């Protein structure tokens, strides 16, 4: 058993703080940016797609804005609508926390789609690349969640359980680490292997990301405490599980379309 005593602040200069969560966002974007360009270069060399790689730098700007707007709007709508409806000024207080992965994901999809139409390229080509590097950002983000002592798990008597003193003195599942491993490390390895195959169909990695993330997240939700302000919907499902189930359906829908297109060629 481990007693959590980590600080969410990496460096405190008095007038300015550098927090682990901010570092996670920055690392996820920078490492993902670098790796995405490597993947695109590989695709170009293998004549899988023609694309001016310099344009990806412009897409990153769209993605950053989409993550912030989508993540915030998603949290407000899915997790705390009544509070922000009554306190609209707090919507802009992003530094106080309150971001939704599912909202950020939808924001990135919309932002990438708009950018793809602007430069007239198959949006699934870029979405596949983004899908493959996104687990890196998810990994860093979940590690930051653990350091912050947030999104903690249900009570557990396992030897690797963690006590979060700021919450209570009950040993709990380190659900943040479960998600870092499943939604981050394992999902990344699966997708990077798939996208580097020369015969992989455009859109396949997007389909796999939605489907596998949904499955992994629903599994991890079984060990994670639901959001206090929501609890379980229908006394059975967390909001994260419901949104992840929608991801699975979307991923399977894309897979069916890809298979149908392949059949009719």
| pLDDT digits (tens), the chain, 265 positions | 899 999 999 888 877 888 898 899 999 999 999 999 999 988 887 765 677 888 899 999 999 999 999 999 999 999 999 999 999 999 988 777 788 999 999 999 999 999 999 999 999 999 999 999 999 999 999 999 999 999 999 999 999 999 999 999 999 999 999 999 999 999 999 999 999 988 889 999 999 999 999 999 999 999 999 988 888 888 889 999 999 999 999 999 999 999 887 665 5
| C-alpha–C-alpha distance, residues 137 and 135, integer Å | 5
Range of the domain at 69: 2-263
| C-alpha–C-alpha distance, residues 187 and 174, integer Å | 19
Give the contacts of 56 (CB within 8 A, at least 6 positions apart).
33, 36, 37, 40, 126, 129
| C-alpha–C-alpha distance, residues 35 and 259, integer Å | 28
In the numeric block, the tokens 């990301």 are attached to 209
| C-alpha–C-alpha distance, residues 202 and 43, integer Å | 11
The number of folded domains in the chain is 1
Please check whether residue 134 is in contact with residue 209, taking contact to mean a CB–CB distance below 8 angstroms: yes
Cα end-to-end span (Å), the chain: 57
């Amino acid at each position: 058993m481990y007693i959590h005593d980590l600080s969410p602040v990496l460096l405190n200069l008095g007038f300015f703080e550098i927090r682990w969560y901010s570092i996670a966002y920055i690392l996820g974007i920078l490492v993902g940016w670098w790796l995405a360009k490597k993947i695109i270069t590989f695709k170009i060399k293998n004549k899988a797609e023609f694309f001016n790689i310099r344009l990806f730098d412009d897409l990153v700007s769209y993605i950053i804005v989409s993550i912030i707007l989508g993540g915030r709007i998603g949290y407000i709508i899915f997790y705390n609508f009544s509070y922000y409806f009554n306190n609209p000024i707090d919507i802009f207080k992003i530094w106080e926390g309150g971001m939704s992965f599912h909202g950020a994901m939808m924001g990135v999809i919309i932002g990438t789609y708009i950018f793809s139409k602007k430069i007239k390229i198959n949006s699934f080509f870029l979405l596949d690349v983004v899908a493959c590097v996104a687990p890196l950002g998810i990994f860093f983000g979940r590690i930051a969640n653990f350091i912050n002592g947030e999104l903690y798990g249900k009570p557990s008597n396992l030897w690797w359980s963690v006590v979060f003193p700021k919450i209570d003195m009950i040993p709990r599942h380190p659900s943040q680490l479960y998600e870092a491993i499943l939604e981050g490390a394992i999902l990344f390895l699966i997708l990077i292997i798939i996208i580097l195959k020369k015969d992989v169909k455009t859109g396949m990695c997007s389909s796999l990301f939605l489907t596998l993330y949904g499955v992994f997240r629903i599994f991890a939700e079984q060990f994670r405490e639901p959001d206090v302000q929501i609890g379980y919907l229908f006394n059975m499902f967390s909001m994260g599980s419901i949104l992840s189930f929608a991801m699975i359906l979307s991923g399977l829908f894309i897979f069916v379309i890809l298979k149908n297109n392949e059949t009719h060629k």
